[in-house]
């Protein structure tokens, strides 16, 4: 690059430094913000990859400001990374745009995001939430009810009458997840948001949108006040970082949330902000492929007599409700086998499907939630909430769908959930009430040993 004379360099620095963005931030020369509400709006898949840039070197990727401090006097945009960092700001503006929010905030994990949100609560406040929640959410709420005097009502939020029966003028927060996990039940966000605001105008309706991501659902457009997500999942997509994001439209609410982030120091690090920004750009291609694969896997299992929970299937009892809110079914499904031992054998027999907690990654994962992601909910509570111990959760990745189905088929065969007959193979398992149903020939059909599983190749995680 040709060198500029120093007088020109100085005047260039002055002009770039003087730039005030749409939100009034006097930003340093780079990176430029991605402005949430300016100019033309493109389709979401385009907006995901499109970020405005006026970096002094026209860098295609936002620079990582790996700096704790910024020199200068009072009143400058950045002084200390706990309070703000240009790379994080860039990510937050991009998030605000794709989440249809006025402001987004990025923190160190999904649970960090919920921690920031629940610090809006005071002793005596009442929270209404679901009975099929992510285990970590359940654990944090339990901590708050035990130690901070917060009253938590766990109810079936898929039942409007159950919600109505606990809503009152004392309700401070309604915390929803849809689809629920692992029972994959659908929650009517719009109706509950209206009911909550009618009963208690200052109530905050908060939605955990981790399962669907902004590609498939915008809870703020459905009446929610706060949406948060674990960025560890679909937003980043590769299980290589932990992050949490929060999005709101109300400026006073955003200030309170920002205050806690600055006070507690849980803002996302510059490097992870950069990594998350990179992941977000491929959200559409990943999620579209993952849901196509999920549908193929769900149909395979359903056609073999298993009770499958997936909102892409017409058999899902809340199919219409889900599709009235969301732009797709997502890529997490669960099914029951009727036997914990059988489920364990299936999970252990999978080769391609990795035994792992979490979801949203490009590779496919298999787990038993009651043993892993939801193990922090005690057994009695799990039973009370209808969380069957034998549930298998599948989080579908971007692999070749035939390979995924084939691996699942061999796992079912090896586990003894299906058996080979002289005419081909047939399923015989607790999941289909012991009835025989036809299944396709397995690619590695010779692995079947009269329905017995052949050892555990993987250690189990808890």
- Please give the residue ranges that form the binding site for ligand PLP (CB under 6 A): 109-111, 134, 136-137, 177, 181, 208, 210-211, 230, 232, 242, 244, 358
| Least distance from ligand PLP to the Cβ atom of residue 357, Å | 7
| Least distance from ligand PLP to the Cβ atom of residue 396, Å | 15
Q: Of the two residues 200 and 232, which places its CB atom closer to ligand PLP in the complex?
A: 232
| Intra-chain end-to-end CA distance of the chain, in Å | 54
| Least distance from ligand PLP to the Cβ atom of residue 138, Å | 10
C-beta of residue 232 within 8 angstroms of C-beta of residue 243: yes
Catalytic residue among 65, 134, 234, 258: 134
Q: Is 98 exposed, middle or buried (0-12, 13-18, 19+ CB in 10 A)?
A: buried
> What is the full DSSP assignment across 179-235?
S-TTT-----HHHHHHHHHHH-TTPEEEEE-TTTHHHH--GGGGT-SEEEEETTTTT
Q: Of the two residues 25 and 119, which places its CB atom closer to ligand PLP in the complex?
A: 119
Tokens representing 237 are 């997509």
Neighbours of 410 (CB within 10 A): 21
Element spanning 56, H or E: none
C-beta of residue 107 within 8 angstroms of C-beta of residue 243: yes
Q: Of the two residues 115 and 302, which places its CB atom closer to ligand PLP in the complex?
A: 115
Q: Of the two residues 397 and 431, which places its CB atom closer to ligand PLP in the complex?
A: 397
Task: Check if 234 is active-site.
Answer: no
Tokens representing 362 are 């490009």
Q: Of the two residues 151 and 357, which places its CB atom closer to ligand PLP in the complex?
A: 357
| Least distance from ligand PLP to the Cβ atom of residue 426, Å | 36
Q: Which residue is nearest to ligand PLP (CB)?
A: 110
Task: Check if 12 is active-site.
Answer: no
Locate all alpha helices (DSSP H) within 373-456, ordered by sequence: 379-384, 401-415
- How far apart are the C-alpha atoms of 59 and 433, rounded to whole Å? 60
Residue with tokens 């020199």: 71
C-beta of residue 96 within 8 angstroms of C-beta of residue 102: yes
Please tell me whether residue 363 adopts helix, strand or coil conformation.
coil
C-beta of residue 337 within 8 angstroms of C-beta of residue 370: no
C-beta of residue 388 within 8 angstroms of C-beta of residue 336: yes
Q: Of the two residues 88 and 304, which places its CB atom closer to ligand PLP in the complex?
A: 88
Catalytic residue among 82, 139, 256, 292: 82
Task: Check if 382 is active-site.
Answer: no
CA-CA-CA-CA torsion sign (406, 295, 341, 373)? positive
CA nearest 190: which of 163, 152, 155, 156? 163
Residue with tokens 């309700």: 171
| Least distance from ligand PLP to the Cβ atom of residue 146, Å | 20
Distances (CA, A) of 284 to 48, 108, 201, 236, 291: 8, 23, 36, 11, 11
Alpha carbon 246 to its chain's center: 12
| Least distance from ligand PLP to the Cβ atom of residue 114, Å | 7
Tokens representing 81 are 């990374």
Residue with tokens 């796992």: 411
Catalytic residue among 208, 390, 406, 407: 208
| Least distance from ligand PLP to the Cβ atom of residue 184, Å | 12
66 backbone φψ class: left, alpha, beta (φ>0; ψ -120 to 50): beta
Q: Of the two residues 26 and 240, which places its CB atom closer to ligand PLP in the complex?
A: 240
Alpha carbon 200 to its chain's center: 28
Q: Of the two residues 133 and 428, which places its CB atom closer to ligand PLP in the complex?
A: 133
Q: Of the two residues 181 and 218, which places its CB atom closer to ligand PLP in the complex?
A: 181
C-beta of residue 387 within 8 angstroms of C-beta of residue 373: no
Catalytic residue among 88, 97, 233, 414: 233
What's the CA angle centered on 114, arms 109 and 461, to 5 degrees?
Answer: 55
Task: Check if 139 is active-site.
Answer: no
Enzyme catalytic residues: 82, 134, 208, 233
């Amino acid at each position: 690059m040709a060198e500029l004379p120093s007088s020109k360099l100085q005047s260039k620095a002055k002009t770039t430094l003087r730039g005030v963005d749409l939100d009034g931030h006097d930003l340093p020369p780079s990176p430029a913000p991605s402005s949430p509400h300016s100019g033309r709006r493109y389709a979401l898949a385009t907006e995901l990859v499109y970020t405005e840039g006026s970096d002094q070197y026209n860098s295609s990727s936002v620079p990582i400001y790996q700096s704790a401090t910024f020199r200068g006097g009072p009143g400058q945009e950045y002084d200390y990374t706990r309070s703000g960092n240009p790379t994080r700001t860039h990510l937050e503006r991009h998030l605000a745009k794709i989440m249809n929010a006025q402001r987004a905030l990025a923190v160190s994990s999904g649970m960090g995001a919920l921690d920031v949100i629940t610090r809006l609560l005071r002793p005596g406040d009442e929270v209404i939430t679901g009975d099929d929640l992510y285990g970590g959410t359940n654990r944090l709420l339990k901590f708050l009810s035990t130690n901070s005097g917060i009253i938590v009502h766990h109810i079936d939020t898929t039942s409007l009458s159950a919600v109505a029966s606990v809503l009152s003028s004392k309700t401070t927060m309604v915390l929803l997840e849809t689809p629920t996990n692992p029972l994959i039940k659908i929650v009517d966000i719009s109706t509950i948001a209206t009911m909550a605001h009618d009963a208690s105008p200052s109530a905050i309706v908060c939605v955990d949108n981790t399962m669907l991501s902004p590609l498939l659902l915008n809870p703020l457009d459905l009446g929610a006040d706060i949406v948060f997500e674990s960025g560890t999942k679909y937003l980043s997509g590769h299980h290589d970082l932990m992050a949490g994001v929060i999005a709101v439209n109300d400026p006073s609410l955003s200030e309170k949330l920002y205050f806690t982030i600055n006070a507690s120091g849980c803002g996302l690090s510059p490097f992870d902000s950069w990594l998350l920004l990179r992941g977000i750009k491929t959200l559409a291609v990943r999620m579209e492929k993952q849901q196509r694969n999920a549908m193929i896997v769900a149909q395979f299992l359903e056609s073999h007599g298993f009770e499958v929970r997936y909102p892409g299937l017409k058999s899902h009892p809340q199919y219409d409700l889900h599709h009235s809110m969301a732009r797709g079914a997502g890529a997490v499904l669960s099914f029951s086998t009727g036997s914990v031992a059988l489920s364990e054998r299936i999970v252990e027999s999978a080769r391609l499907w990795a035994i792992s907690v979490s979801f949203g990654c490009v590779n496919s994962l298999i787990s038993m939630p009651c043993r892993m992601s939801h193990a922090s909910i005690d057994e009695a509570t799990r039973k009370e909430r209808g969380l069957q111990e034998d549930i298998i959760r599948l989080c579908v990745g971007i692999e070749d769908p035939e390979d995924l189905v084939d691996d699942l088929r061999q796992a079912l065969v090896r586990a003894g959930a299906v058996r080979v007959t002289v005419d081909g193979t047939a399923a015989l398992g607790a999941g289909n009430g012991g009835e025989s149903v036809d299944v396709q020939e397995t690619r590695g059909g010779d692995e079947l040993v009269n329905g017995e599983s052949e050892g555990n190749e993987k250690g189990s995680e808890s």
